[in-house]
Chain A
Amino acid sequence: MSTETLVDFDEALTRYEPALGLEVHVELNTATKMFCGCPATFGGEPNTQVCPTCLGLPGAMPAVNAKAVEAAIRIGLALNCDIAEWCRFARKNYFYPDMPKNFQTSQYDEPIAFDGYMDVDVDGETFRVDIERAHMEEDTGKSTHVGGATGRIHGADHSLVDYNRAGIPLIEIVTRPITGAGEKAPAVARAYVQQLRDLILALGVSEARMDQGNLRADVNLSLAPAGSGALGTRSETKNVNSFRSIERAVRFEVSRHAGVLDGGGKVVQETRHFHEDTGITTSGREKSDAEDYRYFPEPDLVPVAPSRAWVEELRATLPENPTTKRARLQGEWGFTDLEMRDTVGAGAFGLVEETIAAGAAPQAARKWWVAELARRAKDAGVELAEVGVTPAQVAAVQALVDAGTINDKLARQVFDGLVAGEGTPEEIVAARGLAIVSDDGALGAAVDKAIEANPDVAQKIRDGKHAAAGALIGAVMKEMRGQADAGRVRELVLERLA
């Protein structure tokens, strides 16, 4: 499929400086659509949440959803943006089958929020990402192409359009070019989107689920000769739908651009599609100056002019700034810098926070999410939040450990049960018979058996080498299928071999 020459990522960065740009679309969770009263909920039967306005029927008119404007302003404020005193919607004219009016009602040169920034942490280093703008627009309908091999329009037998999504409010957040990240560019891209998602969730304005398209990222990338300070021609990789994919898409595009430039070629300004399975991008439509959206102010809507008093009211509703909050919680939790970095890097910050809120000790919460559950998520190829265990369940499992009902090893089996949907942690412990045995009768028999089977080890212990007890404890644990109270076993071993 791809005939491109790819240059090794690290090698590419010896010659080129990457510039990143991220465009993130956030689908708001307002009750109704951007310009009409239809429900904006996800998953209804096709074309059941529609009206003349969102179907673009002749004569129908839009009216702005004030809740969406409120959400846009709050997002803008949280991104340290200025909020426009007066701004308009504009028509973005282009033809697309799932766009009912054949123009998208968006904002052009008068966005609701502009000139902001977000500080992004990568491996303990802070990168400031400048936000150019955040503007309001409407989503399009959704096409399903039936009968083709690829699910794309080419080769399809026919196409079905569902307009339930048409008119759902979107906020598009656009960064300025991010330069100077060097080999950390993929990580910066990922961390920015991750932090942006945390922010959106904290604001409560969207479900922000990437797998459901509530949060969609387009990754723009260009390379310029190292030290030139220039900006190269960019590619726009569309709808990269997970944090991991964002990182991979940036890496791939760096390698690809470097290959083109090394060969004396010119990077084509185009839209590219990222392929989750292979980790590569392929060319979509070419984007050039020929694409002319003929923007003009939407004459059916009046300007949006949020009063300063309202903006200040909304500012007062903002959640704590994520950076400040992180520093505060690190102190409260007693995490080292390294522990904190690992937690954030694993995408576990919010999950750990919730687990602690549910009653677990900070270190225990961290340990489960950053080690055990992160490994499971990686193996399953899913986001940590989608691993199948909730923060409340992790806290419940830890409570069982704290009570001595199970140990860490048994806890892993409880997580197996949780992922398999076998019930609550308590139910799983009961059903799987995982509770620790601390009854001296049963344990004593197993200890005697172990001593008998390992006379050499037993002799060493009798000789005062208590460190050798581990081997006997291990044998007992094996005998008891891990369900023995290890501390009591140790005591019994030492008692018998005193």
Chain B
Amino acid sequence: MKKLVRNILGLALLGTFALTSCDNDNGMDPVDNGPDFSGTFATADQMGRPAINTVFVPSDMKDNFNVTPPSQQGGMYATAFAAGLKALSPAYANDGDKNALGLDATTFGSVLATDVLTVSTTAPTTFYDGTNVLTGRNLADDVITVELLLIFGGEDFTENPNLSDDNVDANDKAFSSSFPYLASPW
């Protein structure tokens, strides 16, 4: 049979599937329904704070960043993050500019580059509640707006008001009251 379009088309399509996750469906085996942990696992992507990796890691560093242990991220990527902050945010345009946490571009860049979700064992859990900042994260926290405020809002959250709010204040669907507490996608 002539197979003009066929072979390559499929192959190319699959090129974009390189790092997909696995579905755990298929109930053929009645005994073992748990996840299969055999084989060698490798880190494919990392996201401690939402959108931070997406925005601040430059394209040519992305693959490496995703496989760098968080303990080494600060040292390796702080400079790139600081440069990103200065390039993106008018609130960091001038020397000495700081954000509401009192952090200048270099310091804040180094904080962000360690892309983990920080949790305080003593303070109330919140991304930001008016008093506590980055002490954890609740489902209902307005995470992206807080990040925008810290990046664009300047020393007192009043700078660049058009850039420091995503204007999405709540989930479009009520959260569940039981584990995993998220709303169902559809």
A-B interaction: no
Chain B residues in contact with chain A, CB under 8 A?
none
